[in-house]
Structures are given as structure tokens and as C-alpha cells.
Amino acid sequence: MTLRVQGPAQLRGARPSDVAALAALAGELGYPATVPEMEKRLARVSSGPDHALLVAEHDAIVGWIHVVLTRSLESDECAEIRGLVVSAGHRGTGIGRQLVLAAERWAREKGCRRIRVRTNVAREHAGPFYRKLGFQSTKTQEVFDRTLDAGRGPSR
């Protein structure tokens, strides 16, 4: 998928040959991944029409955005940015904005009227970045995770 969005980088759909760059950028986002782990993840998200994973190239891959259609009983379908990262050396150049605009275009093409992003409060620059693009904070929440062990039920 190549989306024409004016900006400093060329955008296109991620390819299997991009996994090393995707993994390195995921590490910059705070989610380290090995190349084999990223290969599996890329295969999962690139196999369905409800996901888009776009990369930004500027001599090399310098950013990516993952957007997905979300469906739930309590609200209408929307698009959600699941991950966005631009390499440290290319932040502030407009590439992040370019990626978000491409994700918005993809969402509109899928019939979405809303796009959402969740960000960790520890990412001090993320809130101002998204607000500058017109996003509004609508909820504060906690995230609870629990590791699932095979063959075990809930802890008591």
C-alpha cells in the first residue's frame, strides 16, 4: 500500500524485508523485539484487511505506524493507532504527522468517522503532539495485564 501524503518521507506498506528496521524502531518505542518476533507479528497484522502498517522511508526506514479497525459492542467501529514511532534522529521533521495523516486517510477509506490513539503518560511529548494534530483527550484509565499460564485458571 502506497499512500500519497505530502511530506518529507515516502510512505508505503510494510514488507517482510522490513522486519529488522521495524524491530529496531519498536525498541526505540520501548518495546524491544527480535527479528524473529517481529517476523511473526508482521505476518499476523499484515494478513488481514483490518490492519494497516505503513513505513516512512527517508533513505532508510525512519518510522512506522500501525492502525487497526476496532469493533466493540459499546461503541461504533473506529480506527485505532496501535503504534507510532519515528527514529530519534528524524523526530520533529513532520514524519510523525505525515504517518498520522496517512492513517486517517486509511481509516476514512474503511468508513470510519473517528480515529483513536492511546499513549502512556510517561511519553511527555506524545500528548502535545496529538493535541497539535487535533486529537482530544477523552478518558483517563488504568491498564491491567495478567500473564496467562497454560492449564491454570484464575489465581485465588
Q: What digits encode the pLDDT tens for the residues 69-123?
A: 999 998 889 999 999 999 999 999 999 999 999 999 999 999 999 999 999 888 8
Separation of alpha carbons 60 and 156, rounded Å? 50
CATH number for the domain spanning 79: value is: 3.40.630.30
Half-sphere exposure of 86 (CA within 13 A, CB side): 21
Q: Could you tell me if residue 44 is inside a domain?
A: yes
Q: Could you tell me if residue 19 is inside a domain?
A: yes
Per-residue pLDDT band for 1 (boundaries 50, 70, 90) equals very low
Range of the domain at 94: 10-132
Separation of alpha carbons 114 and 35, rounded Å? 33
> Phi first, then psi: what are they for 28, rounded to 5°?
-65, -30
Separation of alpha carbons 80 and 103, rounded Å? 9
Count of domains for the chain = 1
Q: Could you tell me if residue 154 is inside a domain?
A: no
Separation of alpha carbons 47 and 112, rounded Å? 20
Cα 147 from chain centroid?
A: 23
Q: Could you tell me if residue 33 is inside a domain?
A: yes
Q: Could you tell me if residue 153 is inside a domain?
A: no
Q: Could you tell me if residue 141 is inside a domain?
A: no
Q: What digits encode the pLDDT tens for the residues 18-52?
A: 999 999 999 999 999 999 999 999 999 988 899 99
Contact 48, 85 (CB under 8 A): no
Give the model's pLDDT for residue 23: 97
Give the model's pLDDT for residue 2: 44
Q: Could you tell me if residue 151 is inside a domain?
A: no
Q: Could you tell me if residue 77 is inside a domain?
A: yes
Give the model's pLDDT for residue 141: 86
